[in-house]
Amino acid sequence: MDIGTAKPTPEERARVPHYLIDIADPDQTVGLAEFQQQACAAIADIHARDRLPILVGGTGQYVRAVIEGWSIPQVPPHPELRATLEAQAAREGATALHTRLAALDPVAAQRIDPHNVRRVIRALEVCLITGRPISEQQRKHRPPYAILQIGLTMERQSLYARADRRIEQMIAAGLEDEVRRLVEAGYGWHLPALSSLGYAQFRPYFEGRATIEDVVSEIKRATRRFIRHQYNWFRPTDPAIRWYDAATTGVETIEAAIRDWLSSIPPK
């Protein structure tokens, strides 16, 4: 899954070491706890070599789990329970599942988008298996290192246009063939990997219910929804994040800010 995930190219990976890439097959799921453990191990390894680790996001929940030191419930996936909850969501709607979570864990329910069925199911899974609200099990313990958060943003319509161009470049680079190879290899549309943005939208096309133009349009629409959702995780009003306009700020400005920050950290 190289093109649809915008995986760093071999040339980019030769310029600077990258971590946590190619660590799972498409039918394997890297959960939040596993990601946090692997990310923290990589950070510790980089620190031990007196280098600067850069955590690039990405998925807000996964980034926050690392930089805020979340305690994550060690509850493995329960396929039968998940299937039951998924069936309930299909039968009664996503909001019914979210209402059930609100009765068990109102704090978690308030944090989770009612339409994010996957997160609602995970929260219910932890509650039902452990008998304790997931919100009680997600305490935070600040990591033992200084953290500088940098956010890149730009005017929304310009950002949408840039995302549209990127999607067109992915199509030109062979995204259709990449998805076809995955499907022909036996990976099903039910897998989280193939239900993700840039892949799920191909299903109607391969089933003869849509054109490639329809696929591109739907990926663009879904990407815009994702962009809006990202701003719920990374808010421009968050004082912990130093925001820069990517359309007007030069790389040198950000590098200078990083150097200033590094010089302010007391020596070990």
Extended strands (E) in the chain: 149-153, 241-245
Q: Tens of pLDDT along 60-75?
A: 889 999 999 988 877 8
Of 171, 180, 263, the closest CA to residue 223 belongs to 171
CA dihedral of residues 63, 69, 75, 77 (deg, nearest 10): 10
Given this model, what pLDDT does residue 43 score? 97
Question: What is the tens place of the pLDDT at every residue in 190-206?
Answer: 998 999 999 999 999 99
* pLDDT above 90: residue 135: no
For residue 263, give both structure tokens. 């010089």
CA dihedral (12, 223, 188, 5) in degrees, to 10, reads 0
Q: Quick one: how many helices (H) and strands (E) in the chain?
A: 12, 2
- 243-249 average pLDDT score: 95
154-to-75, 168, 204, 232 alpha-carbon distances in Å: 39, 20, 33, 15
Model pTM score: 0.79
What region, left, alpha or beta, does residue 56 occupy, with left being phi > 0 and alpha being psi -120 to 50 degrees?
Answer: beta
Residue with tokens 């130093």: 242
Contact 121/86 with Cβ under 8 angstroms?
yes
Please give the Cα distance from 37 to 143 (Å, whole number): 12
CB count in 10 Å sphere of residue 48: 8
Closest listed residue to residue 131, CA positions, set 110, 104, 111: 104
pLDDT on residue 139:
78
Mean predicted confidence (pLDDT) in 234-249: 92
- Average pLDDT of every residue of the chain: 93
Domain ranges of the chain: 79-137
d(CA 190, CA 199): 11
> May I ask the CATH architecture of the domain 79-137?
Orthogonal Bundle (1.10)
pLDDT of residue 103: 95
Q: How far apart are CA 242 and CA 254, in angstroms?
A: 10
